Structure 1
Amino acid sequence: MPYVTISTVRGIFDVAQKKALLERVTDLMVEVEGQGDPDFRRNVWVKIEEGEPASWSLGGMMPTPDMIAGKFGALDSGGRRVAKAKV
């Protein structure tokens, strides 16, 4: 029974992206570990852990929620993307 944990910074993925990520990682585990057996799906656990930006560093720089929203777009209180990132 596989357990897959994805760690990321809060605010990078919206609800739809999380759903897609959970589904696709599950599909991959069924394909690889389950050798394509569709019954293996019910044994696959996938979890997304989101940490606060202040707990992360990229290249020695601590991201802020504003930096994340500027890069990926803002999320509403329900975790849905409300604004696209500026390019």
Structure 2
Amino acid sequence: MPLIQVKLIEGVFDDTQKHQIVERLTDAMVEIEGENMRGVTWVVVEEVKSGHWGIGGNALSTADVRALAAGVPVG
């Protein structure tokens, strides 16, 4: 029974996008394991507070992630 944990910085993805993450990750696991595993495949989406996530020694905010997604360099 797989458990897939996804951590996101808060406020970056809306509820529709989070539902798509759950659906598509479940589909990916079922593609590997077989359809019988769909009902026991868990996906947990957790949001981390803005500024409480760091990469390369730098804390990232929600605004930083949105800038990165738009192709704007951060830092």
Do both share a fold (TM > 0.5)? yes
d(CA) in 1 for partners of 2:4, 2:65: 25
8 Å contact kept, 2:9–2:61 = no
**Residue equivalent to 1:7:** 7
- Amino acid of the residue matched to residue 62 of structure 1? A
d(CA) in 2 for partners of 1:66, 1:52: 12
Equivalent residue in structure 2 for 1:52, among 49, 52, 56: 49
Map Cα deviations across residues 18-59 of structure 1 (whole Å, 9 max, x no partner).
Answer: 111100000011111x2x3x2321010000111102211123
- Matched residues, number: 72
**Residue equivalent to 1:16:** 16
Structure 2 length as normaliser, TM-score? 0.74
CA RMSD between the two structures: 2.1
- Greater RCO (Cα-Cα under 8 Å, separation 6 or more): 2
Structure 1 length as normaliser, TM-score? 0.66
- Amino acid of the residue matched to residue 30 of structure 2? V
Shift in Å, 1:69: 5.0
Question: Which ranges of structure 1 fall in alignment gaps of 5 or more residues?
Answer: 73-84
